[in-house]
Every structure is written in structure tokens, then in C-alpha cells.
Amino acid sequence: MQVLSKMTPVPVTCLEYVHPWTQSCTVATAELMIVGVQYCLRIYAAVYALSLIMRGRIPTLPELKKTLRGWLQSTVFLTTNAFSYSIMMCSIRRLMGNFNFYTVSYVPAFVAALIAIMLERSSRRAMLALYVSNVATETMWNILQSRGLVKSIPRGEIAIFGLATSMLMYCYRKNRQETYRDSMFDVVRFAIGDSEVMKVAPVPAEEPTPAARETNPRISKGRKHPLPFIQAVLQAYLQLTGRLKAMGKHKLCRHRHGCLYDTLSSGARMFSVGLGIQVVMKMVLQMRKFISRPALMRKTFLSKEIARLGLFLGGFTSIYKMSSCLLRHFTDSDSPMFAFPSGLLASVAFAFYSDKTIALYIMWKTLQITYNWGIEKGYLPRVPGFTVLLYATSTALLFHAATIEPENLRPSYWKFLHSISGGRICVMDRSGFDVYGLDTSGQIRRMMELCKTEPILQGQLS
């Protein structure tokens, strides 16, 4: 088959390509808008309801009104992104008289995304840009890899996570109250604690705390428990924790107790958090299976998979804190630069729960923090509209990949586009673009099998 240049026009009409189920561009757009509204209302209803629940209190009337406005505004944003994409494809084709490799999807998707993001609240634009940039980065890598331009490195996501986390930890340790603030720092503080934040003056070593003194066997001897075995275990636990707490720490370490106790207790806490998240997620997502097959519950909760997130979180926290303490002991100093070796060492724990999505999210979040902090410090110039352009550019790449080479797209994002379009993304006839040599029609057939569903309009194509 002859492979055309990317700028070569392809004589395909919007009726043949964009909406083969109807002859009217207006009707096709209206259908996309109706389907999109229904889907987006359901999606954002769950998102905003969850945000209210996470506050842990009964919302006030002003908060409910604000949430309702945000729900409707986000629905308008996402719906506009969907149906304006169809409008732009038809309009650009009428304007130019044909399609080429770029106008078949990327250019109309860019314009549609640019219009849609301006309808969303400005406070949510950065988060949306961060998400689509994450997915677009993975998609671009898959595109380059499919063309033989790059090769994947085994466990490359661990290297990305390690480098990004080291930089993130450096920013966290360097951070003070008067400098740049970001919600990601709250997540780091929950995992690592305030003891790794650089302060003006170090906290001097403390005397054994009352909690440690209470673990003295002579003091605890008077306590009685109805079960001698439980009493013995409790006594042994108190003695062990008391000794660990009383162990020395470096004068520059800001944690309250000994370095070993701080390391082990922080790791155990984060392991419990990770294990709890996995258990809750399994219970919520597989409740029906557990009810119909009770034996599956035992198999699920006794498997190694259930502990993977806990091992990652607990291992990362323990390794990071222990390596930071060792660096202070060996160098007799403290520096934000310690975040780099500690972060790289701790990233080894990511092997328990390695995931490209998490690694790329941390990378993009770190880049965002570094960029915004650089602007605040005057090191970097502020680029007007950078967030909007980043969202539009990334979204256009995702839509373009979904149109021309969908196998390079993340499967979850393909299913999202399939749902928001009511299956119409599978009905669009791309056979005219097989001339670009990407086996577009074959990729579409395979992606339809991935969704395990037939497009809702398939009967109208005959």
C-alpha cells in the first residue's frame, strides 16, 4: 500500500468519516451533546459527592450551592469538549475542502479543548492539565516506540519515580511556611512527617519521654490483665518500644524518639494505611463476587497482592527516613540535598507496586511544583495561559491517537472516550486514513474487542 505524506489531502468527507450514521453535521453534534451530558452528569455527580464526603462533616447550605455550581460547570466543560470536537472536524473540513494527517483530528481537538477548558473553573484547570499530560506522555512514548524511535527500559517507571520523588522531597525539605505551598506537600507530610522539613534551628536531643518511662517493667508491674498471655505480649511490646524510643538520635534529627523507632513506627503506620486502602477497595469493588462466592474472600485477602501497596508505602517511608538519619550521623550535618540519595534509595520500594501512571503523575506534579516555585522565587518567567495550552495540546494528542492509532492509547482512556461518545468513536469510518500506513482500521477493530461491546449504532451502518 502506498503511504502518503502527512500533508497530502485525503478525499474523505465528514459524512463518510465523522458521522456515517447521519447525513447532518448538526444532528450528529446534537446527539453527541445529549449523550455527553448524561454521561458527564453521572461522572461528576460521583466526583463532587466524594469531595463532600471526604470533608468528614455535614456540608452547609453555601457549600452545597457551591458544589452544585461546580458540578454543573464541570459537566458543561466536559460535554463541550466532546461535541465541539465533532463541530470542529466538520467545520475545518468544509473550510479546507479535505482532511490531512493533522486536520483529521489533532487540529480540531486542539481548538475544541481550548474552548472547553475556558468554561471550567480556573482552580481546576491545573489539575485537569496535569491529568491529561500524564496520559499524553505515556501515549507519546507508545507512539515513538511503535515507530522504533525509542525502546522501553526494564523497570523504567522505577527510575522515573525515583528521580521525580527525589526532587519532590528536596522541595519539601527546603520548604518553609513563607514559601510556595502545594497540596502535594500535605501528602508527603502525612507519609514522612514534619521531621524532614528544614528549619532555621534544629531541635536538640530530648530526654526520655514520659511514654518511654511508662514502659519500665517496675512501673507496669502493677497492671493486670485477665489473660496472662495477652499481658505477657503487651509487656514485651512495651519493653521493646521503650528501648527503641530510648535509643539515641543525632542532634540534628527532629523526630521525637530514637532514629530506629521513628523509622520502624513510620513504616508500620504507612504499611497499615496501604493495606487498609487495598482491603477497602477490594470490599467495595468486589462485594457482589464475595456475596455470591464467599470462598473468594479468603483467597483474595490472603493473597500477596493485597499487601503490595502497603509494602510500597511502608518500605518507601522506612528507607527514606533511615537513610536520612544515617546521612546526618555520618556527616554530622543536615541538608536538603540529602533528599536525593534518600529518595533514590527509597524508590526501590516502588518495585512492590510499580505503575506507570503513578510514576508519570509524580513526575508531572514535581515539574508543576518546581515551575510554580521557580516563578515565585523569580527564577523562571510566568508564561500566560501555559496551563490552558498544556491541556489543549495534551488533549489533542490523546484524541488524535484515538482516531489514527488507538492501540497506542491507554485502554482506560479509550473506554472513557467510548462511553462519553455513546460508542460513536467506534463507528467513525477511518478506512480512508489507512493510506498513512498505520493500520488504522485494524487497530479500531482490535480496540472494539477490548471494550467487549458493540457500538450502539452498528446496525445503522449497513
- Position 284 scores a pLDDT of 76
User: Which residues have CB under 8 Å from 259's CB, separation 6+?
Assistant: 247, 248, 249, 250, 253, 321, 322, 325, 329
Q: How far apart are CA 325 and CA 262, in angstroms?
A: 10
* DSSP reduced 3-state for 421: coil
3-state SS, residue 99: strand
334 lies in the same domain as 406: no
Residues 321 and 444 in one domain: no
Question: Tens place of pLDDT for every residue, the chain, 462 residues?
Answer: 445 567 777 888 888 888 888 889 999 999 999 999 999 999 999 888 888 877 767 888 888 899 899 999 999 999 999 899 999 999 998 888 888 889 899 999 999 999 999 999 988 999 999 999 999 999 999 999 998 888 888 888 999 999 999 999 998 888 754 456 777 888 888 888 777 765 544 444 444 444 444 444 444 444 555 567 677 767 766 666 666 666 667 788 887 788 888 888 888 999 999 998 888 888 877 787 778 888 888 887 888 888 899 999 999 999 999 999 899 888 988 888 999 999 999 999 999 998 888 999 999 999 988 888 888 888 888 888 899 999 999 999 999 999 999 999 998 899 899 889 888 888 888 888 888 888 888 888 888 776 654 444 433 332
As given in the structure block, the three cell numbers for residue 153 are 527500559
Burial of 292 (0-12, 13-18, 19+ CB in 10 A): exposed
Residues 141 and 168 in one domain: no
pLDDT value at residue 460: 38
Query: So what's the pLDDT on residue 198?
Result: 56
> Do 389 and 432 belong together in one domain?
yes
Distance of CA 112 to the CA centre of its chain: 24
User: Looking at the structure, do residues 343 and 251 belong to the same domain, yes or no?
Assistant: yes
Closest CA to 50 of 27, 67, 25: 67
3-state class (DSSP) for residue 174: helix
Number of domains in the chain: 2
CA atoms of 172 and 263, how far apart (whole Å): 18
Distance CA 235, CA 311 (A): 27
Nearest-CA neighbor of 418 among 385, 451, 389, 388?
Answer: 451
Which range of residues forms the domain containing residue 398? 1-154+382-451
Residue 266 lies in a domain: yes
User: What pLDDT is attached to residue 290?
Assistant: 79
Q: What is the DSSP string of 45-74?
A: HHHHHHHHHTTTSPPPHHHHHHHHHHHHHH
Q: Based on the domain organization, do 117 and 192 belong to the same domain?
A: no
Distances from the Cα of 31 to the Cα of 74, 82, 256, 427, angstroms: 19, 11, 62, 14
Question: Do 125 and 91 reside in the same domain of the chain?
Answer: yes
Helix or strand or coil: residue 258? coil
Contacts of 76 (CB under 8 A, 6+ apart): 119
Helix (H, G, I), strand (E, B) or coil at 10: strand
In this structure, are 337 and 193 located in the same domain?
A: yes
Residues 6+ apart with CB under 8 A from 206: 256
> What integer pLDDT is reported at residue 62 of this predicted model?
87
**Cα(first)–Cα(last) distance of the chain, in Å?**
26
The reply to whether 233 falls in a domain is no
- Shared domain for 336 and 249, answered yes or no, is yes
d(CA 403, CA 425): 8
pTM of the model: 0.79
Letter string b/e over residues 106-137, b meaning 16 or more CB atoms within 10 A of that residue's CB: bbbbbbbbbbbbeebeeeebbebbbebbbbbb
Of 368, 253, 358, nearest to 316 by C-alpha is 358
132 and 4 in a common domain: yes
